[in-house]
Structure 1
Amino acid sequence: MVQSINTKVDLVIDATSHLGVSAYGQIMIGDKGFEFFNKRDARKFIQIPWEEVEYIIASVMFKGKWIPRYAIQTKRNGTYTFSSKDPKKVFRAMREYVNPDHMVQSLGFLDIIKRGLKSKLNK
């Protein structure tokens, strides 16, 4: 059995981890960190302490009406991508522990194209 790093839990919600092959489970947000527990295999879990979180990146579509997935970028271990049933509720729970300036929106399709063209023209 996996030991949780949290002493107080704020939110538990069904979610999907998009790390390699998609895994279904639950996200637990608490006072010590962000946790994902796989439903089928108890050995597959992700625990990210709040001190390790660099940015939370949201993929926003239709002017904020729909957030299909979001990513947590850590200081040392890379980026973890998740999706959940109610992402706005997850963001509100994470906002208590992460600086709101570190919660950013990912680039859109046209922004990526503009950035690529500018880099080609500058060379």
Structure 2
Amino acid sequence: MATESKRQQRFAGVIQQDLAEIFQREAHQWAPNAFITVTRVRVTPDLAIARVYLSFINTQTAKEDLEKIKAKSNEIRYKLGTRIKNNARIVPHLEFFLDDTNEYVEHMDKIFDQISKEPRQPDEED
């Protein structure tokens, strides 16, 4: 994937910050008991599409919660538009994805713990 331009990075940062505030205030309606973090936003070069990566904490139903958020994407886009209307000509289409980095890290930690608990094989010398 090509690197993002400064313009894309700046716009993605604005979107990430505003979406984080929206989720902080209103996510309890879409995903009760879940703490949602906007971990990353990637914007296409024409700034028309924003790929938003979400991390869910304190929930066992992250995939179902993500589907609920995808169903509300037009509402979320509208709320984002009211916040960035002075900074952008268009409000990008939002695509939501599950950021499973935390799950991956936990999985790798478990593997490393298992490896460290296994008895070591004696080194063979020639």
TM-score (normalised: structure 1): 0.25
Of the two, which has the highest radius of gyration?
A: 2
TM-score (normalised: structure 2): 0.25
